[in-house]
Structure 1
Amino acid sequence: MNIILTTLNARYAHTSIALRYLYANLKEYQRETEILEFTINDNIHEIVEKLLKNSPSVIGIGVYIWNALEVSTIIDIIKKVSPETIVVLGGPEVSHTPYRVDFSKADHIIIGEGENKFYNLIDSIKRGLIIDKSVDNEGVPVLSSLNMPYEFYSDHDIQNRIIYVEASRGCPFKCEFCLSSIDKKVRDFEIEKLLNEFQKLWDRGARNFKFIDRTFNLNIEKSNKVLDFFLGKDDGFLVHFEVIPEFFPKSIKDKITEFKPGTIQLEVGIQTLNEDIAYRINRKMDFEKIEENLRFLEEQTDAHLHVDLIIGLPGESLESFADNLNRLGDMTNCEIQLGVLKKLSGTTLDRHDKTYKMIYSDLPPYEILQNSDIPFLKMQEMKRFTRYWDLAFNSGNFKQTIKKLWIDGDIFSGFYKFSTWIYNRSKTTYQISLNRLSEYLFEYLTEVLDFNKTEIADIMVADITKINGRKLPGFLREFATYIPPINKGGNKDIGKRQARHRD
């Protein structure tokens, strides 16, 4: 057989660890299999052309919330022009019903973790056996029995893209908005075997590691060994972990303090600081411990932090969300990732639909449209708020300038007024260049808030030129008192975004 494993990643820099797991565990069928990765921005017809070029017998496609609509179209085209090709789907978007995107033309759908299931399916197809459309004939694999996927990252991947890795699967928590809450048990990979794989990646030149574990710091012994692995390396790498905010034992804290600037990034899931809302969505939180740990990470480490907040949770008003943002802004100077609530199939979030009049889009990413606390028009404003927040605040491009929007300490109100103004000014939330955004921010601060133009220009120049090699927007030259020379060597950090956030 000729087998193709494929998916559409959200960005070129991303890689699919799932495809490589399937490939690593195909045993005798591996030599007949090829991995082809695309992005959601690629032309659909050209994707299908490349998939069908060598007349494959089977095409396996990884389906996610960001590529579900494109995959549906790809299946439709394949079945029209090459109906004999067997299309197999897998991934989180097809592992839980109801399906809100049409995948009916696929031949088989693998439910859940697919390493063993996909091999068995291919073997059954090879032997001509009758197979159900839905493949869910066994439980989760024993992790120690799986072949590791890491040797199947190409040299090009290692040099140019993020290398996704994992030390565990599953999550012990039951947050109702999250698919990980379905996995009640955390399973760990054999740590020594895993570190050996990481060393091989390192020896090949890998320097950008992103762990996909939902609870990296849950297992203290494993976490310390992984941290020790990276602490034993030279600078010039970036490693990303998703961590539980309440649980930072001393041994882990001590190791995090040893990481140099630009080498470690922590994603800290908060979602809400409202105790009643957290209880309502089954999210157990120790708010006192969260604040203590956030302040520790902010004040005593050089870790780059991402802290998450969600808009639209059942029963949470805008006033409550504003309080969340203001409190987080007081605790930390890090990136605050603002997301809009999504209702994913398989979660229990729908139990709140009637009580809080939760209405969601039926199209990916299934975002909330309105609820009893936030009507549709206001929710639209908040979606624009999150987009501008990412461009202006989380980007780190205006690290000091942006604080002029809330000199009274009310972050939410200050930025809400700016986001409303900039939308009325630009009529868009996309394709806003750094130069254009600089002009908007300068105009708002100096003409609406009446700050001195020289003062704002000087702060803005310092922000923008923090990254070597950047060209300064021309309009600032008229007002700034000092224009630093351009270092054409550029910035050599792996994570330029992280570098922009350093003081």
Structure 2
Amino acid sequence: MNEPIKVALVAHNARFTHTNPAIRSMLVTANDRLAVEINEGRLVFVASEVTINDPLDARAARLDALKADIYLFSAYIWNVAEIREVAEILKKANPARLVGCGGPEVSYTPEEELCKTPWFDFILCGEGELQIVELGQALLAHNIWPALEHLPAITQTVRGMVCRTTNFSNDLGFLYGPQNGCVNLDAIPFLWDRSLGGEINQDKNLSNRMLYYESSRGCPFHCIYCLSSVETGLRLRDLSTVFSELKELVERDAMLVKFVDRSFNASPQRAKAIWAYLIESYKPGQRTRFHFEIEADLMDPESLALLSQAPPHLFQFEIGVQTTNPAVLRTIKRQQDNDHVAEVVNAIRTRCNIHLHLDLIAGLPGEDMDSLRRSFNDVYKLKPDVIQLGFLKILKGTPMETVARERGFAWRNSPPYEVIASDAMDYNDILSLKCIETVLDRFYNQPWLAEVLEPIVASYAEPFSFYEEMAQHAVLHNLLYRRVAAEEWYAELLRFGQKRAASGRCEIDSPRAWFLFFQTKYQAQQRRGRLSWDGFVTRYRIQEP
């Protein structure tokens, strides 16, 4: 009997605690739909996860040890460079094996990717669950092997597949499979199924990691910077299935379940049903928490009343405010009632035990520094637990790419395609906002510093001014472009606050009072691994006034 054809699905995660839902969805679907062929010993599917921080040779050795005939990589803007590196080694080490790639970073421009990455034999465009089944069927249809010789024949039977018609030459052409379609979410097995997922889905490999869950696919909104803007419709997984699968994740003691639904509450009644189920089924001592990206505009009094019953720390919400400038919102085709968003955020913060994360995007079309300043202040006064100031990415395949070209944007040609200059901000503006973003993350997003920041931020006319001045201080003291311990940042905040207190513009009106105030807060958050107060002041040469 011949050896089975072995297909390896490979993920490059940002860190060990992350997991990849794409390869799992393809794996469980293939093992379910091709069970007969697998049981006959003709096919085998495996999955492997590495991280982008693993050494290249370690990643290559681990994947080569799988001895797969076909390697399929899941590519995003933050991991495609590492994928190309390891794919080159795998292909050159054994030219007979096939190396393919899918995911949003390559599927919108497959021809471009095949031109610049010769060790990719093919690209899979669109949703992968149907493709992996058809690929397995194509490999077996006519005992096609070695596959490289028959790649054009395989491509013609696999939807969304693209390969070269010839090796590299001046007249390089491409061959396309049938158009890909949309998957029925109810036809996909449970992402975390133990039997269908094999080794990668065993509990020992999921402990203390973030697990992703998809209850819907697509988005009814059309924000021009988002890949979901090119999709149509919203597909929903059956609610009874969702309930039973979430129940299993809780029983398996998952640490954090992050819903990948683009706008979780796009169907408000459905969202309320899921929240109600999770609240009602909660048991004291339960470790599992749930993270949702929601649209504040769609939140109603009934939703807020329900969420007020949630146990502490059960839910985390992320809300993409992006900007509060009405003209910019219209340009990016984002529906948002700023007053309603503020009411919802205030209600969640004051009435619900929910960790709240708000996002802003710098570099949006038409948003200058004054506008960004107002958006920042608007979000800051809502007092979420976390504020993320991100930077616009001009993603391939989105309407934003066309708008950016028309308006004369400059952005990076390589991932993550981040804006360098917009139609309303030059590079110096972007640089200054990057400095502010670092200060914001170092200070505001550290819970223990909330009471420390309050009096010093209040001494400014607006929050943005403090972060702007503190960023300038950080540049002056060389904090931004080298590795800096958290305690060194705290030391500079202490010194900065002392100077502010000495100026008489702070309610803590003397350097000594500020020193003692900071000492009290620092010691209150003392924990294992952090410098003691005496060690802190000694290491950073802080003198008591």
TM-score (norm 1): 0.90
1:192 deviates by: 0.5
Structure 1 residues 268-277 or 32-41, which shifts more? 32-41
1:78 deviates by: 1.6
Segments of structure 2 that go 5 or more residues without pairing to the other structure are: 145-149, 156-160, 163-176, 503-509
Structure 1 residues 430-439 or 445-454, which shifts more? 445-454
Q: Cα deviations across residues 295-327 of structure 1 (Å, max 9, x unaligned)?
A: 111221121111110000011001100100111
Q: Cα deviations across residues 83-135 of structure 1 (Å, max 9, x unaligned)?
A: 11111211111121277763343122111110011221122123326133515
For 2:405 and 2:226, locate their aligned partners in 1 and report how far apart those are by CA, in whole Å. 20
Tell me the secondary structure at the aligned position of residue 160 of structure 1. coil
Q: Report the counterpart of residue 246 of structure 1 in structure 2.
A: 297
Q: Report the counterpart of residue 498 of structure 2 in structure 1.
A: 446
Q: Report the counterpart of residue 206 of structure 1 in structure 2.
A: 254
For 1:122 and 1:467, locate their aligned partners in 2 and report how far apart those are by CA, in whole Å. 56
Q: 1:464 to 1:124 in 2, by over 3 A?
A: farther
Q: 1:98 to 1:114 in 2, by over 3 A?
A: closer
Give, as a single letter, the amino acid of the residue that structure 1 aligns with 2:19.
Answer: T
Give, as a single letter, the amino acid of the residue that structure 1 aligns with 2:237.
Answer: F
Contact preservation (8 Å) 1:360, 1:366: yes
Please tell me whether residue 289 in structure 1 is matched to residue 340 in structure 2: yes
Match of 2:154 among 131, 141, 154: 131
Match of 1:178 among 220, 223, 226: 226
1:136 deviates by: 5.5
Contact preservation (8 Å) 1:14, 1:161: yes
Q: Report the counterpart of residue 386 of structure 1 in structure 2.
A: 437
Q: Report the counterpart of residue 120 of structure 2 in structure 1.
A: 106
Q: Report the counterpart of residue 361 of structure 2 in structure 1.
A: 310
Q: Report the counterpart of residue 521 of structure 2 in structure 1.
A: 462
Q: Cα deviations across residues 190-249 of structure 1 (Å, max 9, x unaligned)?
A: 110121112122222224211111111122332223212321212433210000011112
Please tell me whether residue 402 in structure 1 is matched to residue 453 in structure 2: yes
For 1:169 and 1:315, locate their aligned partners in 2 and report how far apart those are by CA, in whole Å. 30
Match of 1:20 among 11, 24, 38: 24
For 2:349 and 2:124, locate their aligned partners in 1 and report how far apart those are by CA, in whole Å. 42
Q: Cα deviations across residues 427-475 of structure 1 (Å, max 9, x unaligned)?
A: 5345322211111211221135535244344346426744754633423
For 1:34 and 1:301, locate their aligned partners in 2 and report how far apart those are by CA, in whole Å. 43
For 2:448 and 2:483, locate their aligned partners in 1 and report how far apart those are by CA, in whole Å. 16
- For the aligned residues, what is the CA RMSD? 2.3
Match of 1:168 among 212, 216, 221: 216
Please tell me whether residue 73 in structure 1 is matched to residue 85 in structure 2: yes
1:251 deviates by: 2.9
Q: 1:304 to 1:142 in 2, by over 3 A?
A: same
Q: Cα deviations across residues 400-447 of structure 1 (Å, max 9, x unaligned)?
A: 222344223511111011012112212534532221111121122113
Contact preservation (8 Å) 1:401, 1:460: no
Please tell me whether residue 2 in structure 1 is matched to residue 6 in structure 2: yes
Please tell me whether residue 150 in structure 1 is matched to residue 154 in structure 2: no
Q: Report the counterpart of residue 363 of structure 1 in structure 2.
A: 414
Please tell me whether residue 233 in structure 1 is matched to residue 282 in structure 2: yes
Contact preservation (8 Å) 1:454, 1:479: no
Tell me the secondary structure at the aligned position of residue 318 of structure 2. strand
Give, as a single letter, the amino acid of the residue that structure 1 aligns with 2:68.
Answer: P
1:138 deviates by: 2.8
Q: 1:88 to 1:100 in 2, by over 3 A?
A: closer
> Which structure: larger Rg?
2
Q: Report the counterpart of residue 194 of structure 1 in structure 2.
A: 242
Q: Report the counterpart of residue 464 of structure 2 in structure 1.
A: 412
1:383 deviates by: 1.6
Match of 2:59 among 47, 57, 66: 47
Structure 1 residues 437-446 or 270-279, which shifts more? 437-446
For 1:364 and 1:410, locate their aligned partners in 2 and report how far apart those are by CA, in whole Å. 34
Structure 1 residues 431-440 or 58-67, which shifts more? 431-440
For 1:415 and 1:405, locate their aligned partners in 2 and report how far apart those are by CA, in whole Å. 11
Please tell me whether residue 59 in structure 1 is matched to residue 59 in structure 2: no
Please tell me whether residue 11 in structure 1 is matched to residue 15 in structure 2: yes
Q: Report the counterpart of residue 505 of structure 2 in structure 1.
A: none
Q: 1:353 to 1:227 in 2, by over 3 A?
A: closer
1:377 deviates by: 2.4
Contact preservation (8 Å) 1:393, 1:402: yes
Structure 1 residues 171-180 or 460-469, which shifts more? 460-469
1:71 deviates by: 1.0
TM-score (norm 2): 0.83
Contact preservation (8 Å) 1:13, 1:160: yes
1:10 deviates by: 0.9
Q: 1:313 to 1:4 in 2, by over 3 A?
A: same
Q: 1:456 to 1:180 in 2, by over 3 A?
A: farther
Q: Report the counterpart of residue 172 of structure 2 in structure 1.
A: none
For 2:387 and 2:95, locate their aligned partners in 1 and report how far apart those are by CA, in whole Å. 47
Q: 1:104 to 1:285 in 2, by over 3 A?
A: farther
Please tell me whether residue 93 in structure 1 is matched to residue 116 in structure 2: no
1:170 deviates by: 0.6
Q: 1:225 to 1:4 in 2, by over 3 A?
A: same
Give, as a single letter, the amino acid of the residue that structure 2 aligns with 1:131.
Answer: I
- Greater relative contact order (CA < 8 Å, ≥ 6 in sequence): 1
Contact preservation (8 Å) 1:461, 1:480: no
Contact preservation (8 Å) 1:405, 1:418: no
1:79 deviates by: 1.7
Give, as a single letter, the amino acid of the residue that structure 2 aligns with 1:198.
Answer: L
Identity in percent: 24
Q: 1:264 to 1:49 in 2, by over 3 A?
A: same
Structure 1 residues 225-234 or 16-25, which shifts more? 225-234
Q: Report the counterpart of residue 478 of structure 2 in structure 1.
A: 426
For 1:470 and 1:240, locate their aligned partners in 2 and report how far apart those are by CA, in whole Å. 28
